[in-house]
Structure 1
Amino acid sequence: MTSRSGRKGTGAGADEILPWFIVGAAALVGLVFSGVWLGGTLGAAVSGAGWNPPPFSLSTLTALTREGPGELWPAASPGAVVAGIAVLFGSGVALAVLALLAVRRRLSKPAGLAGRRELAAMLPKGAEARARELRPALAKQKRLDPDDTGNLLGNLEPNGPELRSSYEDVELDLMAPRSGKSTGIAVPRVLRARGSVLLTSNKADVYSVTRAERERTGTVWTFDPQGIAHTPRRMWWDMLADAGTIEGARRLAGHFVAAVNDDASKRDFWISAAQNTLTALFHAGNRGGRTVSDVLGWLADPADRTPIDLLNDANMTALADQLRGTIQGAVETRDGIYETARQCAACLLDPAIAAWVTPDPKVPQFRPERHALSRDTLYLLSKDGGGSAAGVIAGLADSVLRAGVVAAERQGGRLEPPMTAVLDEAANVCRISDLPDLYSHFGSRGINIVTLLQSYRQGSRVWGEAGMDALWSAATVKLLGAGLDDADFVEKVSRLVGEHDVSTVSYSRSKDGRSRSTSYRLERVLPADRIRALPKGTALLLATGVKPALIRLRPWYKEPGAERIQAAAQAEMQAITARAAQEVLK
């Protein structure tokens, strides 16, 4: 009895499917016949036989099946008829494939992310409207260059349009190595910048691609004390000029301390005392009109009273007394403080590095206050690790940024055109200790700053957990690219992206018939494993006040004019290689 019931159920299912099978087969035959009828008629017409379509009827279908296409278009060559049919079916298949790919790409975008409506302020029209509000100089121009309206972030996945942040935004980008930081962010920002440019890096890739293009806009200054690009020295910067005030001297000393202190949250007695000593010596050098070489001499000989005398002559008696107290203290303590200070400033012992911050009448002097108001470009290149010039690089970068703030205040609050600062490898070669505190302030002054890090943890090692949290909060635009392997951070981002309702349809069958029910559950928009597995060239966009979005970066080599830039980059790399070979021979 059970077996009979099972066979009955199977037969009922077949009876339900059979009518649909017949309808589908009839539709397929009709579609194929329509394609042959139209394609053959077009092929015959193109070959010169004229537009003579056969009757669209069952008898024509029968003749086509028995006799072939030649029976329906006797005046045309069989080859032309077959070619017309093939072209029509080929076009149909191509369109179907394109439609399928478009649907697949649309379905591949996770539900719950921002679309065009949510990102209206970043679309071309919204970006132009914001640019006219932020930059009064553009208000009277009828048509704006897209690069005048904001920074190109990329294209909204899956099929555009392009998205731009405003020049008021400040950006933090976290991406693993070889995930598109240079090609999709650093290089395009430098090439598209409207005002002055500051770039820090530990490689010559961005420099080699952008240098020739930036020379078309203004003067290019290359600060390369360790020979990253093997460029000859054609500039010098007065490092002690920023030590004219105690605050400036302390900031300068802080850059050298940060360059050797791996964790900003852990500052022991020796590190703090070394910064105080460097502050006093840098300020004494500035007030006395001395050079970096003099400061190094004072560090080497704690008994030298010259810096104390210079501070007293400048009426800086409190600072002079503090330095005297350090020198006259216990020998072990004094030597420990001075040795720590010497380690912090050890890079200046290299004459090749010290020459870049020592007055030289043979080459031009770089002046940060002039750079902020220009359309020039400053490349700051340094190696990682021990012996690097990271302290000098951070000091010069900080000087340029602060000069930009001063210039903006003198212009009424905002730089015009905006300054672009790309701090690539900021955790390695540009450790500005209070960068998180200054970040939001830069945006309000027309200084569009982008900090590039390999991971959240890398930033925490430099600025501490609290400092990195502050930097994350201050950034109004954040791009998270491929290769983020920090499980805790990725989980945190997944929670920030949020959850959405997912519907589940279930069917049931009873003696009263079939029923359909829908239930809902909350599910992560982007689980942690999916964020970690973001494809190269894509990034998760987190902008203030906007739902997260998925974008595709726009590498410079896929943009108009890439051939010219590529040729110039190859020539620059060849020149770098040649200079490196000459240095080896020397």
Structure 2
Amino acid sequence: MGRVGAAGAKENTAHQQVHGGTELTTTRTPRHHTTGDDFLPWLIPGTALLVATAFLGAWLGGTLGAALSGAGWNPPPFSLETMSALVQEGPAAVWPTASTGAVTAGMGTVFGGTLALLITLTLLVRRRSARPTGLAGRRELSGLLPKGAATRARQLRPSLAKSGRLAPDDTGNLLGNLEPGGPELRSSYEDVELDLMAPRAGKSTGIAVPRVLRARGSVLLTSNKADVYSVTRAERERAGRVWTFDPQGIAHTPRTLWWDMLADAATIEGARRLAGHFVGAVNDDASKRDFWISAAQNTLTALFHAANRGGRQVGEVLGWLADPADRTPIDLLRDAGMSALADQLQGTVQGAVETRDGIYETARQCVACLLDPTIAAWVSPDAALPQFLPERHALSCDTLYLLSKDGGGSAAGVIAACADSVLRAGVVAAERMGGRLDPPMTAVLDEAANVCRISDLPDLYSHFGSRGINVVTLLQSYRQGTRVWGEAGMDALWGAATIKLLGAGLDDADFVEKVSRLVGEHDVSTVSYSRGKDGRSRSTSYRLERILPADRIRALPKGTALLLATGVKPALVRLRPWYAEPGADRIATAAQAEVKAITARAAEAIAR
């Protein structure tokens, strides 16, 4: 801190570097340091002002009470004599013609109203001060406020251009309310979202369920639990048809559809993508593939494409894998004019026995879930059931629930393949509509790292947004994403997401520190006093501090989230869970009925 020289010296300013940031120190002319004795002269006038204020409230309340009781408006003199009479003899001495009860009630009303006003103002000030300095406010978030969201929606959706007042859910996806006590914030339908929250931090109640309930077009949901399904199924039936793909009995729903998995293998690219989903389901890190994984994907690509071109089914593909010497897939590829692919498959079959067996065994492990006839039935033709067609779903208001367990034996490969098929069908439909789907498609990839490992999802993310496909990927942590897509892939997904919500319980120290740096720093002033031979002086210093230190980000309360939107300062939002919204009673009743039905089906399945 600067020192003050002789009395009357001019104010001077000094700069110095502190803790990597800039500290600005301002030293003022000597001034007397305030002590407790300095307040004594103010004690008497302060007490007088307090007494006068209390008397004013009693005088006004009593007069109002007397007037309302029928005694008329007849205020007594506002004087010391009146105050003395009120204190010594009570209200009857001041308002003799009025009811004492009415006068007292009037006083209580005035004092109560004043107290309520003071409490309200205090709460408003505290709520405004609750938002850390440096975070975004209404001005910075104007594009996400209702007016800005409506303007953006009219630009993105031609069907709304000439509409009158828009329903809130037509303008964008609800993110939550700006903290503290701010308006609701909505992202646009060209935004793509990445949400990171710990378990039981509000992912389902505050994000997944509201997104499904509020969707205007078709919906795709992946999950390894039946919670979102049970809450939203009845409501989504009011919007369109509900398709439930539940090969492992998460919700114990009977099979009411079939999906032609091999239809996506009509091209080599489609066959490679299909094979990649099964490989990704058993490979922990898409960025670390050894020889066996890559060779297995090549073999599955050839077999899937051969089955498609030859009109064969999943069971025959499993048979080819069980018997590498079977030349049927090679012949089918040659008949289809795919000589190069046939030669490659033949080379694998005719290679060293150890190598061939290793490749085929790896491929068998990748599609092991299809060995379960219950799972295979969902992706095999069934004339008795309707066929799910992704291209029709993209243009509808229907809902597709893709449910699967995670871990060993899961149908995650099938789930990822179906989700990818729907998303790519949406892209094709958008291109035919002139660029964007209208109404947009909503894809909620809950537990994406466990049951929906689309290997190139980071590369496709921004492309989906430009096509009117609003994708929301839900992860428990940043590290969970790196295990699936690798460091580079997760960084790409983070960069492609235009909306990021970071909720409670993020315990990755490196990641939280990175977020803290992204939120930034702000100036904090500190006033200090020093004593010298010429008197006392006051100094004001400024230093840079983190807006949100890492420990505060980790300790975000449940139900709140840090919002990182492209081109906007970070903001703090409060999620709006579905059970706190209008109509929640009806939805809760339907959800309870659905849970009972799931429980009954589960008991029946166990009994069988």
TM-score interval, smaller chain: over 0.9
1:553 equivalenced with 2:581 (yes/no):
no
| Aligned partner (choices 526, 530, 535) of residue 508 of structure 1 | 530
Residue 77 (structure 1) shift: 2.8
Counterpart of 2:521, as a letter, is: E
1:572 equivalenced with 2:569 (yes/no):
no
1:360 equivalenced with 2:349 (yes/no):
no
Q: Structure 2 CA distance, aligned partners of 1:432 and 1:466?
A: 15
1:231 equivalenced with 2:248 (yes/no):
no
| Aligned partner (choices 338, 351, 374) of residue 360 of structure 2 | 338
In structure 2, the CA distance between the partners of 1:15 and 1:204, relative to structure 1 (3 Å rule), is closer
The SS at the match of 1:222 is strand
| Aligned partner (choices 401, 404, 419) of residue 379 of structure 1 | 401
Match of 1:466 in 2: 488
| Aligned partner (choices 241, 244, 250) of residue 263 of structure 2 | 241
Match of 2:189 in 1: 167
Q: Structure 2 CA distance, aligned partners of 1:96 and 1:258?
A: 61
Kindly provide the CA deviation profile for residues 417-456 of structure 1, in whole angstroms up to 9, marking residues without a partner as x.
1111110100000000000000000011111111000000
Residue 277 (structure 1) shift: 0.9
Kindly provide the CA deviation profile for residues 534-566 of structure 1, in whole angstroms up to 9, marking residues without a partner as x.
111111111111111111111111111111111
The SS at the match of 1:375 is coil
Counterpart of 1:464, as a letter, is: G
Which blocks of at least 5 consecutive residues in structure 1 are unaligned?
A: 1-9
Q: Structure 1 CA distance, aligned partners of 2:165 and 2:36?
A: 66
| Aligned partner (choices 279, 282, 286) of residue 301 of structure 2 | 279
In structure 2, the CA distance between the partners of 1:13 and 1:191, relative to structure 1 (3 Å rule), is closer
Match of 1:520 in 2: 542
Counterpart of 1:337, as a letter, is: I
The SS at the match of 2:397 is coil
Q: Structure 2 CA distance, aligned partners of 1:14 and 1:178?
A: 51
Match of 2:73 in 1: 51
Q: Structure 2 CA distance, aligned partners of 1:14 and 1:494?
A: 41
| Aligned partner (choices 454, 457, 482) of residue 504 of structure 2 | 482
Match of 2:179 in 1: 157
Match of 1:106 in 2: 128
The SS at the match of 2:407 is coil
Match of 1:96 in 2: 118
Match of 2:205 in 1: 183
Residue 14 (structure 1) shift: 5.7
Q: Structure 2 CA distance, aligned partners of 1:76 and 1:576?
A: 69
Match of 1:420 in 2: 442
| CA RMSD across the alignment | 1.4
Match of 2:416 in 1: 394
Match of 2:82 in 1: 60
Match of 1:260 in 2: 282
Q: Structure 1 CA distance, aligned partners of 2:136 and 2:389?
A: 44
Kindly provide the CA deviation profile for residues 496-553 of structure 1, in whole angstroms up to 9, marking residues without a partner as x.
1111111112233456554333211111111000100111111111111111111111
The SS at the match of 2:239 is coil
The SS at the match of 1:357 is coil
Q: Which deviates the most, 81-90 or 176-185?
A: 81-90
The SS at the match of 1:478 is strand
Q: Structure 2 CA distance, aligned partners of 1:382 and 1:258?
A: 15
In structure 2, the CA distance between the partners of 1:342 and 1:14, relative to structure 1 (3 Å rule), is closer
Kindly provide the CA deviation profile for residues 162-193 of structure 1, in whole angstroms up to 9, marking residues without a partner as x.
11111011110101111111111111111111
Counterpart of 2:331, as a letter, is: D
- The sequence identity of aligned pairs, in percent, is 82
Match of 1:492 in 2: 514
Counterpart of 1:123, as a letter, is: L
Q: Structure 2 CA distance, aligned partners of 1:259 and 1:42?
A: 77
| Count of equivalent residues | 576
Q: Structure 1 CA distance, aligned partners of 2:130 and 2:529?
A: 26
Counterpart of 2:528, as a letter, is: S
Match of 2:25 in 1: none
Match of 1:198 in 2: 220
Q: Structure 2 CA distance, aligned partners of 1:507 and 1:414?
A: 63
Residue 47 (structure 1) shift: 3.1
Q: Structure 1 CA distance, aligned partners of 2:348 and 2:45?
A: 97
1:436 equivalenced with 2:458 (yes/no):
yes
Kindly provide the CA deviation profile for residues 465-499 of structure 1, in whole angstroms up to 9, marking residues without a partner as x.
00000000001111111110000000000001111
Residue 52 (structure 1) shift: 2.6
Q: Structure 2 CA distance, aligned partners of 1:233 and 1:44?
A: 77
Q: Which deviates the most, 20-29 or 50-59?
A: 50-59
| Aligned partner (choices 92, 103, 106) of residue 84 of structure 1 | 106
| Aligned partner (choices 313, 324, 328) of residue 335 of structure 2 | 313
Q: Structure 2 CA distance, aligned partners of 1:200 and 1:365?
A: 19
Counterpart of 2:440, as a letter, is: P
Q: Structure 2 CA distance, aligned partners of 1:228 and 1:72?
A: 77
Counterpart of 2:565, as a letter, is: A
Q: TM-score, normalised by structure 1?
A: 0.96
Q: TM-score, normalised by structure 2?
A: 0.93
Match of 2:351 in 1: 329
In structure 2, the CA distance between the partners of 1:572 and 1:335, relative to structure 1 (3 Å rule), is same
Counterpart of 1:140, as a letter, is: K
Q: Which deviates the most, 79-88 or 488-497?
A: 79-88
Q: Structure 1 CA distance, aligned partners of 2:581 and 2:70?
A: 44
Q: Which deviates the most, 79-88 or 395-404?
A: 79-88
Counterpart of 2:403, as a letter, is: L
Counterpart of 1:307, as a letter, is: P
Residue 70 (structure 1) shift: 2.4
Counterpart of 1:302, as a letter, is: P
The SS at the match of 1:216 is helix
Residue 35 (structure 1) shift: 1.5
Residue 40 (structure 1) shift: 2.0
Match of 1:122 in 2: 144
Q: Structure 2 CA distance, aligned partners of 1:14 and 1:568?
A: 65
In structure 2, the CA distance between the partners of 1:23 and 1:148, relative to structure 1 (3 Å rule), is same
Structure 1 residue ranges (4+ consecutive) displaced by more than 4 angstroms after TM superposition:
12-15, 509-514
Which blocks of at least 5 consecutive residues in structure 2 are unaligned?
A: 1-31
The SS at the match of 1:66 is helix
Match of 1:211 in 2: 233
Q: Structure 2 CA distance, aligned partners of 1:570 and 1:290?
A: 43
